[in-house]
Amino acid sequence: MLLGAHLTLMMGPILAIPVPLPLAEALVGVEVTSSDRGRSGFQLQFQVGRSGPLDLRDYPLVTHPLLRPFTRVVVMVRFNLLPRVLMDGVITQITLTPSEDPGASTLTVTGEDVSVMMDLEQLRMPWPGMTENAIATAIIAKYAPYGLVPAVMPPFMIDAPVPTRRIPQQTGTDLEHLNALAERYSYVFYVEPTSVPMVNRAYWGPPVRVGMPEKALSVNMGPGSNVSSMSFSYNALSPAMVADLHQDTDTNVTMPVGAPPMPVQPPLALVPAAAANGGKVRTTVLTRTQESVEALMQGPNGQPGMSRHDAELAVGLSAMQAQVRAVAGVQASLERTATASGELDALQYGDILRARSIVGVRGAGFTHDGNWYVQSVTHSIKKGEYKQRFTLNREGTGSLLPLVRP
């Protein structure tokens, strides 16, 4: 028996507590977006108005002490009595939209998850003798006051720097550096709330493609359908392989480097992209990560550096670093091969679809049925309404399993 969804909004300068009744009654809409790449965000829409001489100076909610930049915001939904924290973030933008019509003026509060606090200060600092996963752990530990608990996965290839030859350098904010380190392996970095308010899991590692799948998305199944709309797309030009010659910066020996168009993560599709394309897959040369390209294009003291073409050529890397870049580039291309998007009513679905998880699809035919990775989810909550828009991806077509979790 479905018991519905109940929203709880919490705010506070450091510790968030349930908002007072006037603020809760003025809330007319909530939107929360969660994604496996980049910061997640939220938007709160309040109905505002002025009545009486005390409100002549300003709208009461505009001057409310809780609706201030960098106020902590926790959005929690109790779905069928089970509490779920959708967002733990801070306010970054406030927009007032006055209207001549009574009751039509709105105050929109926009914010991002607590990882935005990692993006406020640009730094130049060395990390001598530390691997990427060790650096990620150290950076995340600095933000323990925001409830961040590190969950760092070691890379599939570890190139430990020798201080006499190479010292890893950070140039940029902590968040930029964490994302740049993740990009080298086609990893992801994100902060997601746990079931405990104001305690967050800071994940640095590969996209999670294992675990208990979410409740299945059912399409074209008559009364059994639980998805309002859904579409599927296959991009035959997305998958790529790397085949190149690279000069090892340690030995000056030129050697072949490459990676086939096969996933290093557990597969979700029966027919990989190379087979679905009939063996026709783009072949690319080894290139640098976007972080390295931008750094080389920006010379010292603000002077112009290399051209984009020269900066993208992967020179100055060891053989292991080059191989890591090759594998990461292939993985990034495979993730964009098969995609799906759609919308569902959470009350009809009977659960909450979570981003960064696995979900089964049924009713769409063999080519598109099976398990998919949930890349992003947008929750849209209003009085009497809870809808979710979602984006899925995987590396090919066809279902690996005859059945998915119902």
Taking Cα atoms as reference points, which of 127, 124, 147, 126 lies closest to residue 135? 127
Exposure letters 125-135 (e unless 16+ CB within 10 A, then b)? eebeebbbbbb
The answer to whether residues 90 and 28 belong to one domain is: yes
Segment (H or E) for 127: none
The answer to whether residues 72 and 146 belong to one domain is: no
Instruction: Assess if residue 126 is contained within a domain.
Output: yes
CA distance 350 to 210: 22
What number of residues does the chain have? 406
Residue 24, pLDDT score: 95
Opening angle at CA 343, ends 342 and 346, nearest 5: 140
Q: Which range marks the domain in which residue 373 is found?
A: 5-117+338-399
CA distance 157 to 320: 8
The answer to whether residues 106 and 37 belong to one domain is: yes
The answer to whether residues 265 and 318 belong to one domain is: yes
* 48-87 pLDDT tens trace: 987 766 666 788 898 999 999 999 999 999 987 889 999 9
CA distances from 125 to 130, 135, 136 (A): 13, 11, 14
Q: Provide the terminal-to-terminal Cα distance of the chain, rounded to the nearest Å.
A: 17
Beta strands per DSSP E along 153-187: 169-172
Residue 1, pLDDT score: 40
The CATH number of the domain holding residue 196 is 3.55.50
Segment (H or E) for 311: helix 308-312
How many domains would you assign to the chain?
3
Answer with the one of 311, 335, 359 that is the final residue of a domain.
Answer: 335
The answer to whether residues 60 and 10 belong to one domain is: yes
Q: Does the reported pTM lie above 0.85?
A: yes
Give 383: exposed, middle or buried? Use CB within 10 Å, 0-12, 13-18, 19+: exposed
Q: Is 290 helix (H, G, I), strand (E, B) or coil?
A: helix
* 323-344 pLDDT tens trace: 888 888 898 899 889 999 999 9
* 275-302 pLDDT tens trace: 889 889 999 888 755 555 565 556 544 5
Regions in the chain scoring below 70 on pLDDT: 1-3, 52-56, 288-316
Residue 353, pLDDT score: 96
Answer with the one of 183, 205, 227 that is the final residue of a domain.
Answer: 205
Instruction: Assess if residue 182 is contained within a domain.
Output: yes
Taking Cα atoms as reference points, which of 296, 311, 316 lies closest to residue 252? 316
The answer to whether residues 29 and 93 belong to one domain is: yes
CA distance 54 to 62: 14
Residue 2, pLDDT score: 53
CA distance 400 to 272: 11
CA distance 110 to 68: 11
Residue 300, pLDDT score: 47
